[in-house]
Chains A and B, each alone.
Chain A
Amino acid sequence: MPILDARNISFRYTDRPVLDGVSFALDAARILAVIGPNGSGKTTLLKMLNATLFPDQGQMLLDGRDTRRWTRREIARTMAMVPQESPAVFPFFAEEIVLMGRFPHLGSIAFEGKKDFRIVREAMAKTDCLAYAHRRFNELSAGERQRVLIARALAQEPKVLLLDESTVFLDLKHQAQFLSMLRELSRVQHLTVVFVTHDVNLAAQNADAILLLYNGKKYAIGTSADVLTAKNIKEVYDVDVGIDSNPHNGLPRVTLFT
């Protein structure tokens, strides 16, 4: 049974449909990249997946059950989301931010125990942010903040991880570290990953499958070789690209002609 199963979902904020009959299924331990031009419905699709919004038509199934029939806590124990940015109005410390990831696992009034602190520390070690665990979140650089937010998502111990442009602020080293961590988590702990990105090469190199959205519709889904063709990209993005294969792993490589 697929862990994520979108069945013909449509959604509109006003009159214009943002998602229009999108269907796809994703098995556990797979990595899916969602790409598409601005306004193609990528972020709204993520909101459908994590039950922030519910489809107007169609069904969104998580682990075989309609997302409307999950409680908030159940969803948060199964699925974590890394937002692009987080407001830093009040001065929380980095470790406090990551500790919040333990919320769905504890009661409302409870204090975190030894186990929670261990999980939080491990998550922070994985994203290389232990060094500033004791610093204020709002003093950190954008990349450092992003690593804290990724650690918070990992502290939720999810089965599904959703990422919204989560690598944009990371430097090369941390981007590489993060992507190899994702692949390892997916291999070892069967973590399912869905990431939204504008970087088609990032998608080509790291995803098992790519979903290409265009005007709220599923334009193509499949392996990177199937989806990332010069013809598809010309039609969806209206740019000319050259596509060859990466000499290291044979995956498609997209070069923008300007």
Chain B
Amino acid sequence: MERDNGFCQEVKVEKLHPFVRPFRGRKIFLEDLSIYRRVTLSRVLSISALLFALFATVCLASLCIGVVAIPAKDLLAAVAGALGVSPSSPSEEQIILLNVRLPRILFAGIVGASLSSGGVVFQALLRNPLADPYVLGISGGSALGAIIGIVLGAGAFCLGVPFLAFCGALATVFLVFVVAGGSRGLLLDNSLLLAGVVVNAFFSAAILFALSVVNSMELHSITFWLMGDLSGADGKEILLAALCLLFGFGILYAQARKLNLMVQGEETALQMGVNVRATKYILLGVTSLVTAVAVSLAGIIGFVGIMVPHMMRLVFGSDHRLLLPAAALFGASFLVVADTLARTMIAPAELPVGVITALCGAPYFIFLMRRKGRG
């Protein structure tokens, strides 16, 4: 771990953008370049405001882009029409904007924020930079639930498939907890991680089995669900996901300083005044819930929850009081962009959004692993 001073000096001189640096050769460590700034309330607020502005901009841009391109000035007219300022009957553009694109964009933002903040918490709790929101078997369990729902025709009921997916996810998390339950009541993070991996692998097999026996109609909707689909959500579902996110994020944010300590090791956290066991159960429970809701409504969208927390950590540091809101807001923007690409790249057809995120995410993941090997 020890590096001589000459090397650090040399690295400090470099002033490159964080996302350019990885390509500048092996000996440069990303973290070396960002400059230490204290995390204060005003800094958290201003960075959050900035990232919210980014999210709003991305949303407005995404509203205008699509099979039917709507110029920005018509956007204003459509909004005015919707608010009843202009008396004319709703135009086609207005319907596209408010009934199709707006809900989808909001939903993408909510799912992106849920997955990203879930990723932050799971990475911190498991002290593993490669953990993701699905690590506890949430993806495998909810996928199996969703497939059962689709095969049994639960799609006919309101929230039928998502409900089964949600049950699958929570049942799996519970199973993983039981499998990994350490001695003396503390969950050992390695066994939690391993149990999650094993359970996910088991469910993958079950999913493959299901895929090989269902008919082609069901196969199509299952495949879309497995790769993430943000188009299907209706108003009620979006509201539900939004409430879960707000409520869950509030609880998670209240634990932000404890998370900083938990990263230093559970025993250290305990000795510094954190009630480790309670904190751990609260964080795991709330995060599982928030992610399970997002997954059950949107399907499995990979890499958002692993990539976004990392990028934000590189730019803003590891203090969770800043990292959590930054990751949530940036994750929201990221998924809106990804979904906009998904619905426009091969228009009028659509790509599953999971394809886009995986295309960005996999190279980033490889880069992280290589860097981890070096550190």
Contacts and interface: CB of A to CB of B under 8 A. Distances in A.
Interface stretch (B1-9, B156-164, B224-232, B325-333): B1-9
B263 interface: yes
Nearest to A117: B38
Interface in A149-177: 156
Contacts of A81: 268, 271
Contact of A89 (B44, B129, B271, B272): B129
Given A92-B318, A104-B272, A139 B8 contact: yes
Given A103-B257, A109-B256, A72 B8 contact: no
Contacts of A103: 257-258, 261, 272-274
B267 interface: yes
B317 interface: yes
Contact of A91 (B2, B39, B253, B317): B317
Contacts of B123: 90
A48 to B, nearest CB: 13
Interface in A46-79: 50, 52, 71-73, 75-77, 79
B271 A109 contact: no
B273 A75 contact: yes
A108 B257 contact: yes
Nearest to A92: B318
A66 B124 CA distance: 32
A109 B255 CA distance: 7
B1 A138 contact: yes
Interface residues of B, number: 44
A72 B260 CA distance: 16
Interface residues of A, number: 42
B104 interface: no
Given A86-B265, A92-B317, A136-B32, A76 B272 contact: yes
B127 A139 contact: no
B273 A77 contact: yes
Contacts of A100: 260-261, 264, 272
A76 B271 contact: yes
B266 to A, nearest CB: 10
A257 interface: no
A250 interface: no
Contacts of A79: 271
A76 B273 contact: yes
B317 A139 contact: no
Interface in B265-286: 265, 267-268, 270-275
Interface string A78-114: 0111010011111111011100110110101111000
Contact of B255 (A50, A91, A108, A135): A108
B318 A96 contact: yes
Contacts of A187: none
A109 B254 contact: yes
B31 interface: yes
Considering the complex of A and B, which 3 residue pairs feature the smallest CB-CB distances, nearest first? A76-B273, A104-B273, A134-B36
Given A96-B260, A100-B264, A135-B36, 16 more contacts: A72-B275, A76-B271, A77-B273, A83-B265, A90-B129, A90-B318, A91-B318, A93-B317, A96-B36, A103-B258, A108-B254, A135-B8, A136-B31, A139-B8, A139-B31, A142-B2
